[in-house]
Amino acid sequence: MPGPVVVFVEQRDGKFKRASFEALSEGRRLATALGVPLHAVTAGEGIADAAKELGQYGADAVKVADHAKLKTYANAAYARIVSRQAGSASAVLMSASALGKDLAGHVAAMLGTSVAQDCTELHVEGGQILAKRPVYAGKAYATLAVNGGPMVATLRPNVFKAAAPDASKTVAVENLPLDARDTDFRAVVKEILASASKKIELTEANVIVSGGRGMKGPENWGLITDLAAALGGAAGASRAVVDAGWRPHEEQVGQTGKTVSPTLYIACGVSGAIQHLAGMSSSKFIVAINKDADAPIFKIANYGIVGDVLEVLPALTAEVKKLRE
């Protein structure tokens, strides 16, 4: 009898992440296909009550490690807790967030297995889980199977659909003991410096407006953030812009920046270098605004406008605002 699908659910300040609901929903689909139960595992402090919600996403069992020492992320301790729940699992899933990418490697090493990282598709074929993931920065896609042991996989945020919660479902919450060793707390988060502004996180944003060197200078960045704000999205940047010091590293999209998969990505004055595409080519709809009709960004854009961003952006923002009124 194959074991459960185990999903690690991530929380911050007692709030579960949407990307974890995506992982839970995908876990539900896999568990049903395999004919095994779905277990949700989470860790933190003071979250036992909130964890009841996880049953509404289809978990058959909800397990919570609730302890003051788990308030902030402690990689080895979190991994110890998850790996203890996963010895006989068919699969261990989590979001490919900053935390999930870090946690997965620890969990896998404790279980003596590997990780299918940043998957964009999972399915069951002949009773076996197959994981599809981009490699070479999205220039190829690998399909992987696991040879013994659970399939440990992280799921790219914004790619898998989160099911609507079913409020009629209730599941008892099981408390897990703090099953970690003292040595599991050697890397400790002392403090979290919150971003100055309450910006929407790039990797979680549904809409991203991103600017390149074609924006001409940091003084024009308001055109990017205005459109992003009008669309309820986040602002990103090319590496050229970050390296020029116009924008901080955390806003860089691409191979050495963030990998994003929004529903709508608007590239403004971005040439579309292969390293930039690496970070955004799995976006659902791509719009490019560039004055050079031959810019490579147009090759992957659904819609393009050939023109000066400094002129097109204010007009576009005005139109979007009109719609929102």
Ligand X SMILES: Cc1cc2nc3c(=O)[nH]c(=O)nc-3n(C[C@H](O)[C@H](O)[C@H](O)COP(=O)(O)OP(=O)(O)OC[C@H]3O[C@@H](n4cnc5c(N)ncnc54)[C@H](O)[C@@H]3O)c2cc1C
Q: Which of 65, 76, 104, 295 binds ligand X (CB under 6 A)?
A: 295
Burial 152-175 (b: 16+ CB within 10 A, else e): bbbbbbbbbebbebeeeeebebee
What three-state secondary structure class fits 318? helix
Determine, following the binding rule CB under 8 A, whether residue 143 of this chain makes contact with another protein: yes
| Of positions 2, 213, 264, 320, contacts ligand X by CB under 6 A | 213
60, 229, 300, 321: which one contacts another protein (CB under 8 A)? 300
Please report whether residue 255 would count as binding ligand X according to CB under 6 A. yes
Q: Of the candidates 14, 175, 186, 218, which one interacts with another protein according to CB under 8 A?
A: 186
Q: Is the separation of the CB atoms in 185 and 77 below 8 Å?
A: yes
User: Six-digit token pair at 74?
Assistant: 């402690």
Structure tokens at 14: 């007692």
134 is a contact residue toward ligand X (CB under 6 A)? no
Q: How far is the CB of 90 from ligand X (least distance, A)?
A: 35
- Answer for which of 192, 218, 222, 292 binds another protein (CB under 8 A) is 192
Q: How far apart are CA 212 and CA 283, in angstroms?
A: 17
Helix (H, G, I), strand (E, B) or coil at 151: strand
Q: Which does 116 bind (CB under 5 to 8 A by kind): ligand X, another protein, none?
A: another protein
154 binds ligand X (CB under 6 A): no
> Per the structure block, which two tokens stand in for 38?
């779905």
Query: Which of 1, 8, 226, 219 lies closest to 103, judged by CA?
Result: 8
Q: Which does 261 bind (CB under 5 to 8 A by kind): ligand X, another protein, none?
A: none
Interface residues toward ligand X, by CB under 6 A: 212-214, 238-241, 252-257, 269-271, 273, 275-276, 279, 290-292, 295, 308-310
